[in-house]
Every structure is written in C-alpha cells, then in structure tokens.
A and B are shown apart, each in its own frame.
Chain A
C-alpha cells in the first residue's frame, strides 16, 4: 500500500500544460488528478493520462473495458463478467444501426482483423487470485482474463507509450455512437457529492448533479472573498458535518457550522445562473474559473479559438474550424474505423464519395508547418499517404505531414468559407458520430457537450 501511495503522490507532481481558451486558475495548470488507492494484483500500476488516472500493465499500457452499450437495434459490448471479444473474424454487419439491415458483407474480408487482434485480453499470471475489485473471469476457451468491477480488461494495440489512451475514451457518448472502449482506472480522489467529466479542455469538476464547480482568483484556502451580494450569484459548495479534509481537499468554515469545500487551496462554488449541467458560463465573470482536476494537453500554437454561432471552436491559423473524424463499424465487435491503421473505406466515402482526390479537396488535412513540432502525445504530427489515408514514411512520395489529435488526423472543411463557419459539423452517418466529422469545441454553451 505504501508503494501505491508513492505512485499517487508522484502523479500529483506530473505536469500537464494548459491548452485552449478555457479559463483555469493559474495554479490549476500543473496538476494531475489524484486517485484513491485500491488493491491491485502484482504487475499492475496506475498511470497518469489525458483520461485521468488509468490502470496499466507492467509495461505501462492502459487497460480498457468494453461495457455493454445500447444501440438502435440491440446491444454491443460486454455484460459484466462475460468476455465477448474473441478471435473470430466477423464477416457481416450486425444491423445494430437502422435503417440498414444485418448480414451485409464487411469490407476487406481478406485482411480483416479479429477483435483480439486489436484488443489483447489481460491475462493473469499463474496462480493469481482475485483482489479487491479485480477478479478473474473465464473466456470461452477456458483461458483466464482479468476483470475490474466485473468488466473484462484489454490493452489496445494502438497504445505505444505509458499513459497513451489512443484506444478509447471516457468522454460521454450517446446511443448512436459505437460501443466504445473505455479506459479503466482507480476512483478519483474526491469527496462524495462530486463528479468529473472528460471534455476537450480537461477533466472538469462538477457536483454529482452535474452543476459546474467554480473557484475565484481572490480566494484562499482560509478565506472567501464572496460574501454578501456576491452570494446572489455564487453558491458555496458545502460539506456535510462529517466531512473530513483529505489530500487536496480541505474545508473552510464560512460561519459556525457552515463549512465550504476547498480544492487545491480554492473554495468551491456553483453558479446560480447556470442553466445547463457542465456549464462554462460562470467563467465569464471576472476572476472566476471552472475547476479541472487536470487540464488537457495544449493544442498546437498555430491553432486558435474561434468564435462561431455555435460557440468557440478550435481553428487553424486561418481561422478555419478544425474537425475530427469518428468511425465505428456496424459489426458486433464495433471495431474502430477512424485511425490510419484501420480501414479507410468509410472515411473516403464520406469525405469524397470514395475518391481520395475529392477528399483532399473537400476535407483537407491540417498540414503541419515546416518548423512545427509535436508538443505532446495528444497533439502529434504524423505522415499520411495522401491517397490511402494510412500512415506513410516521411520519404514516401506525396506523403503529407499533418496534425493529429490522439493519433488521428484532423481536417478543415472546404465548405467553411469564413472564420467561424461550422458547416461541416455533423457530416456523415449518425450526425458525425459513427462515420463522420465533428467540430472540435472549446466552449459549448448550446449543446451540453454533445458536439
């Protein structure tokens, strides 16, 4: 347990950089999220990642689960305790997304991969025993697999370094998105009554009801500047009488019996005028900031926030909205199709009616400047074959050096003529969620983080 504590403390010193126009307090910029120490089997550890603390194997590779997800015409993913990712190479569509029926041949059957080709089951060492929420489940061939909270665990072949979370996300996704793989980790170290949600800007703190949490620059752990008329807009987040200080969390006694939660030295508030959950509106008030347990990796310095009628989008240096492509197959194993190592048939259909040249015209890659370098693992520069859409060697003729978000190239849309245009958002199947493109939003006051 003491070694786990050391891990937890060392993670707090792990450095993340502020990115984007999101307003965070200056002292929020260099934190990773603390986590609750939980028993783990030997050979596993916790890594800091953009998705918060995650469990990792001995090599530091992130562990994922594939929870069951309700789709239009049925379910995909794994019910608790029941592995469903095997070495079968699926050949036909599942018909989980209407209106197209099941039984249609999937692409590239001659080189199609199975689920376990892409997702390695995490196998226990000889003689391993259940510990805490870690249990051992049996696969259909009798082999064993680790599960956490009853969900079978996997690593992703996309992850290359400790802390990579290229295989999946904890970001909220709806019933029309694929049944995604989700990084698994220890519980975040926060008191009851709070919750954390992933956003493009980082891991955002809210109450358990989704009310955004804010802090004020002028406050300290021992004093609140928000008194009297200030309280008409700002409601202190109060701890119950049994609340105790722990780690980064402390309590400020505003008046006898009234104790306000303090996180990293700042008393916490909700904003009375917020009309949506997970709002950023309160940060428009001078000196007030949303609270993040960790902020996201910085985007490239050549990118910038851009006002649009939708909110603030991420834009390239010319102010053109930046889009990310999302894809998951309508197969029972819901394999991804949005990464350069995966089939490009779906993307090419959407971006250019199957014609790579039209794709380059309608949805050009965001090219990296000659002198630009990747600044972190989230925003990297990759070489792409301009015709196939797959990774290329730098020496390959016609290869493009492009910006990638989480290893996936980003694009602009030819239909966006002026800075602030977002005419490409929602392009593709299922409103851009399943085989299509969505704008990268930095500030979304209208759609509750669903864009």
Chain B
C-alpha cells in the first residue's frame, strides 16, 4: 500500500528489481539439492599475513635454513665426520628437543594476523585481525611467518601443498551441508566431512577448479576421516561449532601424512559456486612437526630456508593449548588455514545403488 501513489514506471522498475533480486537469490541457491550442498577443497594453506617486503611482521628479516646453519656450525666440515656433521643435524631434526640452539629465531613481530579468536578471550599475546577483530589466536603464524618457505606465493611449502591438493586424491577433503534452507541465513545446518576419491573438475587449463563436479565418497580408506558437526549460516557466512578432533590428510612430494586439529572450526563465505574462508583450531604440535619433515627432506626444507630444528623449538615455545596432564606443557598450537572450496555433488554409493 505504501507504493500506491508511485508512478507506473517507478513501480515497474521496482518490480523488475524485485525479480532480479529473486533471480539472484534463486541462482545462489540453485545448486542446493534435497536441502544439501557440498564443497570440495581446492586450496588449503596456513594463514600467513604478509605486508610488502615483510617490514611490518619481520623487521629483522627471515630465518636461516639448514644450509645456512650448516655453514655456520661446521665451517671446517671437511675435517669432520658424517656422524659429527650431517647425522648430528639429522638426529636433531628427527629427535628434536626444546633446548635453545645457537641461532636467534625470528618470530613474527607485527600485530596483525588472519585467523579466529579461538578461546573467546583477548590477551596480550593475541593478534588483531586486519578487520579490527581483537583476540586472534594464531601462534603457528608467529612461528612460521618469518620463514620464506611458508610465505606465498612462491614459498616451497606454499607451492607444494597447493599443487598437491589439485593433483592428488589422498587429500581430497569435502564438506557436505545438509538440512540447508538458505545459503544466506540458516540457524542450523549439519556438516559432514568426507574424503572424496575422484579428480577435480577443472577448466581446460587444468588449474581452475570448476563448480558442479562430482565426487564419490571414500568409505574404504577414508572412513576414519569422516566427521559430523553442526553450524549456522549468518549473512552468507557458515560458522561451525568446534570439532573435538579433526584429522586432515596432507600431502606433498608423495608422502602421505596428516594434521590433527583440536577444537577446529570453519568460517566460510558460502555461495552456490564455492566457499572460502578459514579453518582454525589447535594443531597437535608433534603431528604438525612430523608432517613437515616427513613430507620434506632437509634438501626441500633448505629451499625454503626452513630449519626444522629451530622451528620445533619455536612451536613448542609458542604452543598455547591442550596441556599435557602429566607435564603441564602445551601440546597444541593455535592456527588458521586459508581455505577455498568449489561446489561439488557428492555421490554416496548406497544412494546410488538404491537409485
């Protein structure tokens, strides 16, 4: 009734506008089937907040890697034995300890970081999100932010992980949202994580993942990876409840490994085509560390100037959660990962058989 006096052309424009909005909403919801929409991961890497030339976060520069440390430790290596040099370094890599070494470790010194406030508190050690949110917990970033190999776009870890997630299937993780009424606002949805077993649908370049692909669920070897949890969608953003323990397959250089995240949660911008945002939680420190060194030889770590020996000490020093009941030492470290996903149709074998 409020529009009764409005001219015909104006009302026509309003009608057209309403229709366009309706179409847009409809398009955005168009890939929901039976109140279900699913996404497959196409990018997953540690959230590393970077400024130009790293002046803000790493004012003292970047850390040395194994090659640089070896040269400093053993300037006269040709008068020494394998046991005293190479194997001594490898022993420290594979049997790490928290004793200080002779190298100053450069932690991130900036105040900004990507990530989430995991503990609901704002403390002196927390970062601030670039959008101004206080209390960001991301101590993995503090540890790796000044190591070249973890910085994008050409750090060795960055390259390998993102290549592997496109090329391989071992790490083909997906989320399926069920009981979805709207991708804009829905106070309760159910999320199930699965591993898929198919290649990604890409464009002709093979690099850009397209929405609308199909993935079969890996129940055979991936059953232990399945997790179910709930969440809500607010203004197009999915917020999930913390998941007690999430196992995330991780791969590069043809070695299968995993990360274990405790109290993990997603915060994802949803659309009909894909999802993007963060996965945040507390990473089990030992699992985190051994994933790194099992996937990368000392040679590969050297390419990214990643001293595993020094990094382990930093991870232990900065671990901020899940204290060991006996020692009281924290066993987990806060972290966040940048996530991108493409919409996918998940095929459940039992459903397919029934059809």
State the A residues within 8 Å of B (CB). 72, 92-93, 97-101, 103-107, 176, 275, 307-311, 330, 345-346, 349-350, 352-354, 358, 415, 420, 422-423, 425-432, 435, 445-448, 450-451
Contact = CB atoms under 8 A, between A and B. Distances in A.
The main secondary structure of chain A at its interface with chain B is loop
A425 B294 contact: yes
Nearest to B290: A423
Interface string B296-339: 11110010000000000000000000000000000000000000
A254 to B, nearest CB: 30
Given A309-B224, A446-B256, A350 B90 contact: yes
Interface in B196-227: 197-199, 220-222, 224-225
A450 B167 CA distance: 15
A446 B67 CA distance: 32
Contact of A345 (B70, B83, B195): B83
B221 A311 contact: yes
B276 interface: no
B294 A431 contact: yes
A300 to B, nearest CB: 24
A107 B295 contact: no
A425 B221 CA distance: 17
B23 interface: no
A275 to B, nearest CB: 6
B20 interface: no
A98 B299 CA distance: 5
Q: Which 10 A-B pairs rank lowest in CB-CB distance, beginning with the nearest?
A: A426-B294, A426-B255, A353-B95, A446-B170, A103-B78, A99-B302, A99-B67, A105-B81, A349-B87, A450-B254
B170 A431 contact: no
Given A275-B199, A423-B290, A431 B85 contact: no
B294 A97 contact: no
B91 interface: yes
A48 B83 CA distance: 40
A72 B85 contact: no
A431 B199 contact: no
B113 interface: no
B249 interface: yes
Given A104-B86, A345-B87, A428-B94, A310 B66 contact: no
B258 interface: yes
B103 interface: no
Interface string B85-103: 1110011001100000000
A275 B67 CA distance: 39
Contacts of A310: 170, 221, 256
Interface of B: 66-67, 70, 77-83, 85-87, 90-91, 94-95, 168-170, 195, 197-199, 220-222, 224-225, 247, 249, 253-258, 290, 294-299, 302
A103 B81 CA distance: 9
B297 A430 contact: yes
Given A427-B94, A431-B295, A446-B170, 18 more contacts: A72-B299, A92-B78, A98-B67, A101-B70, A103-B78, A104-B81, A104-B85, A107-B81, A309-B225, A330-B86, A345-B83, A349-B83, A349-B90, A353-B94, A358-B95, A432-B294, A447-B256, A451-B256
25 contacts: A93-B86, A97-B299, A99-B66, A99-B298, A100-B86, A104-B85, A105-B80, A107-B83, A309-B224, A311-B221, A330-B86, A345-B83, A350-B94, A354-B87, A415-B290, A422-B256, A426-B256, A428-B90, A430-B297, A431-B297, A432-B255, A435-B90, A446-B169, A446-B170, A447-B170
A58 to B, nearest CB: 39
Contacts of A420: 224
Nearest to A438: B255
A350 B94 CA distance: 7
Nearest to A309: B221
A427 B247 CA distance: 20
Nearest to A284: B220
Contacts of A309: 170, 195, 221-222, 224-225, 247, 249, 256, 258
A114 B264 CA distance: 55
A211 B225 CA distance: 30
Contacts of A350: 90, 94
Contact of A107 (B67, B82, B197, B220): B82
Given A309-B222, A446-B256, A451-B256, A426 B81 contact: no
Contacts of B66: 99
Contacts of B220: 307
Contacts of B87: 345-346, 349, 354
A307 B295 contact: no
Nearest to B95: A353
Contacts of B81: 104-107
A64 B90 CA distance: 32
A92 B77 CA distance: 11
Given A309-B225, A310-B170, A445-B221, A429 B298 contact: yes
Given A420-B224, A429-B90, A446-B170, A104 B297 contact: no
B221 A307 contact: yes
A412 B161 CA distance: 28
A443 to B, nearest CB: 9
A105 B255 CA distance: 30
Contacts of A430: 297, 299
Contact of A105 (B82, B168, B290): B82
Interface centre among A101, A420, A422 (most CB of B within 10 A): A101
A425 B256 contact: yes
A423 B293 CA distance: 12
A426 B83 contact: no
Contacts of B168: 446
A370 to B, nearest CB: 33
B174 to A, nearest CB: 15
Contacts of A435: 90
A25 B195 CA distance: 31
Contacts of A93: 82, 86
B258 to A, nearest CB: 7
